[in-house]
Amino acid sequence: MKHLHTTKNGAILLIGSLIMSFMTNAQTPDTGIFTEHNDIGETGITGNATYNPENQTYIISGSGENIWFDEDAFQYAWRQISGDFILRARMKFEGEGHHSHRKMGWMLRENKTPGSPQYSAVVHGDGLTSLQYRKSKDGETLEMSSEIKTPDVVQLERRGRMLIMSVAKYGEPFTSVALEVDSMKDNLMAGLFVCSHDSTTVENAVFENVRFVKPAPADLVPYQDYLGSHLEVMELATGLRKSIFTSPVSIQAPNWTPDNKSLIYNSEGLLFSIPPTGGIPQQINTGFATSNNNDHVLTFDGKTIGISHHSSDDNGNSVIYSLPVEGGTPTRITDKSPSYLHGWSPDNQFVIYTAGRNEQYDIYKIRVTGGEEIQLTNQKTLDDGSEYSPDGQYIYFNSARTGTMQLWRMRPDGSEQKQLTFDNYNDWFPHVSPDGKEIVFISYGPEIDAGDHPFYKHVYLRRIPADGGQPEIIAYLYGGQGSINVPSWSPCGKYISFVSNSGVWW
C-alpha cells in the first residue's frame, strides 16, 4: 500500500528521545568523512588532502609515478569499510596537467603497503576510464574500460560478490561495468586518490558530493525496518549538494517554507522544522495527529500546513487535515479515507489528493471547508503526486496509464490531460518551480514496478521545462520513498531539498 506512515510497529518516540537520537554529520574539520590521508609508496613530492566544511568538498594533491603491477605511488584519503557499499562523487582535475595518464578516482585496498591487492574506479587525464584491479599482492594489474570518456560522476559499488563501477557525465545516466570479486576481503580501506604519473610533479583534483552509502540489507522489511537519512540542499545551477543534517532514523519529505526560514520534514509519525542551513530540529505540535505520513504540504503563502494522518477512527487509514504552520489542533478536511494529500490551490480554497475509491487510486480535489469531493482522473492504474502550478492554470501529476509511471498535467477541472515524459524510467512527484517554468521529479529505473515507489533504491532526480521536454539528471542518489515526495523548492528557485539514505557506518 502506498504512503504508509513511518512509525515502527505503531510506536511514537517521545520528542526528548527522538531529538537525542539525531546526530550531526560524522565529519571532522580536517578530513571530512575520511579518517586519514597518506602518501602510499614513494611519491617524490609529498601529497595532501584538504576538506572544506563550508561547501563539503575535498581537494587532493598527489604525486607518484604510477599505480600498476606492483607499483603504488599516490595520495590517498580513506576510511575503513566493510560489507556492501556505494561510493559516489563528482570529480575533476584542476588545470590541464603534466601527463595524459594522471589518475584520480575511488580505490579499495587491503593495506598501505605498495603492491597490496586493490580495486579502483579510475579516470585518467586523457579521459580513459576503467575499473582497474590487482587481485593478489604484487600481482598483475588488469582493467575493464568504460565506453564513457572523461566522466565527472564516478560510483563504485560492492553488491555481494559483484563490484560495479558506474560513471556518467553530469546530467546523463550511469553506464556500468561489473566484475566478480570472490577474493576481495570484507574489511577494506576505501577512499579517493590522485596520482600525477610523474614523481617530479603534483596534480590536484576536486571532489564534490562525496558519499559513503551503506545500502539496505537483503532482509530489510519495507515499512518496518529503516535506514538513516541525510537531509540535503542542492544548488541547481552547480549541482553542488550539502548535507545539512544526518539522522540514524528515517526522516522524509522536506518542505521549504516560503519565508526561507525552515525545512519541514516528517519522522516517526511527527513533523519537525530545521533551518535550511542546518541546526537542531524542533518538533511541530500536531495535536492528536501523531501518525503522519510523508504527505504534508504548505499553502503557497506558508501560513497553513496540510497533513495526512492515519486516523484510528478510520481504521488507521490516511485522512487529510490542516493546521497553522507553527502548530496547533488539526482540522479535518476529507470525510472519506484513504486520502493522501499532495497539493493546495494557490488561492488556498482547495486541496488535491490521491484517494482510494472504488478499488482504484485516482486524483481528487475538495474545498478546504469540506463538502463533496470532485474526481479529476479515472484510471484503473495509479494516478498520484498532484501539484498545482503557481499560477493555478494546471495540475501536474504522475500516472501509470501508459505502462510506466510518467508525468502528466491537466487543467484544474480535470480536462486537457497531457503526457509530459515518455522514456522508460518511472517518474514520480512533479514539483513546479516558484516561477512556474521548471519541474523537478524523482525517477526510478525500469526494473521497478510502475505502481511502486519503494525505499532504498538507486534513483535520479531530474528536471524538465514545465511544458515538457528532454529530462536532465540533476542528482544521483540512493533513496526513493520519502526523498522528494512533497514540494521542496527554495522560495528563490535556486535550491531544492531532498533526503538521501544510508545505514549508519559509525
Residues 500 and 232: their CA atoms lie apart, in Å, by 7
Eight-state DSSP code of residue 54: T
Q: What pLDDT shows up at residue 27?
A: 52
466 — pLDDT class (breaks 50, 70, 90):
very high
Contacts of 463 (CB under 8 A, 6+ apart): 236, 438, 439, 440, 441, 471, 472, 474
- Count the Cβ atoms, other than its own, within 10 Å of residue 442: 28
Express each pLDDT in 420-457 by its tens digit.
999 999 999 999 999 999 999 999 999 999 999 999 99
Express each pLDDT in 328-339 by its tens digit.
999 999 999 999
Domain 36-213 has CATH 3.40.50.150: no
CA 43 from centroid of its chain's CA atoms = 37
Residues 395 and 410: their CA atoms lie apart, in Å, by 5
> Per-residue pLDDT for 19 more than 90?
no
Residues 98 and 22: their CA atoms lie apart, in Å, by 46
Give the dihedral of Cα atoms 344, 339, 327, 488; nearest 10 deg.
-50
Q: What pLDDT shows up at residue 22?
A: 36
Q: What pLDDT shows up at residue 98?
A: 86
Cα–Cα nearest to 362, from 394, 388, 393, 401: 401
Which residue do the cell numbers 510506536 mark? 11
- Count the Cβ atoms, other than its own, within 10 Å of residue 116: 18
- Count the Cβ atoms, other than its own, within 10 Å of residue 13: 17
Residue 269 near residue 312, CB atoms below 8 Å: no
> Per-residue pLDDT for 25 more than 90?
no
Residues 339 and 401: their CA atoms lie apart, in Å, by 20
Q: How many helices (H) does the chain have, and how many strands (E)?
A: 1, 39
| CA distances to 334, 339, 411, 414 from 369, in Å | 9, 16, 22, 21
Contacts of 88 (CB under 8 A, 6+ apart): 153, 154, 155, 156, 209, 210, 211, 213, 476
Express each pLDDT in 183-215 by its tens digit.
899 999 999 999 999 999 999 999 999 999 999
Residue 384 near residue 397, CB atoms below 8 Å: yes
Q: How far apart are the first and last CA of the chain?
A: 33
Q: What pLDDT shows up at residue 442?
A: 98
The superfamily CATH assigns to domain 8-25+227-502 is TolB, C-terminal domain (2.120.10.30)
> Per-residue pLDDT for 2 more than 70?
no
Give the 3-state secondary structure of residue 114.
coil
Q: What are the strands, taking DSSP E only, across 248-315?
A: 252-256, 263-267, 270-274, 282-284, 297-298, 304-310
> Per-residue pLDDT for 102 more than 90?
yes
Residues 19 and 14: their CA atoms lie apart, in Å, by 9
In degrees, to the nearest 5, what angle opens at C-alpha 481 toward C-alphas 498 and 154? 60
Tell me the domain boundaries of the chain.
Answer: 8-25+227-502, 36-213
Residue 174 near residue 155, CB atoms below 8 Å: yes
- Count the Cβ atoms, other than its own, within 10 Å of residue 138: 13
Residue 430 near residue 387, CB atoms below 8 Å: yes
Mean pLDDT, the chain, as a whole number? Answer: 93
Express each pLDDT in 72-99 by its tens digit.
999 999 999 999 999 999 999 999 888 8
Q: How many CA atoms lie within 13 A of 372 on its CB side?
A: 3
Express each pLDDT in 256-311 by its tens digit.
999 999 999 999 999 999 999 999 999 999 999 999 999 999 999 999 999 999 99
28 — pLDDT class (breaks 50, 70, 90):
low
Residues 384 and 362: their CA atoms lie apart, in Å, by 7
> Per-residue pLDDT for 406 more than 70?
yes
Q: What is the mean pLDDT of residues 315-329?
A: 98
Amino acid at 234: M
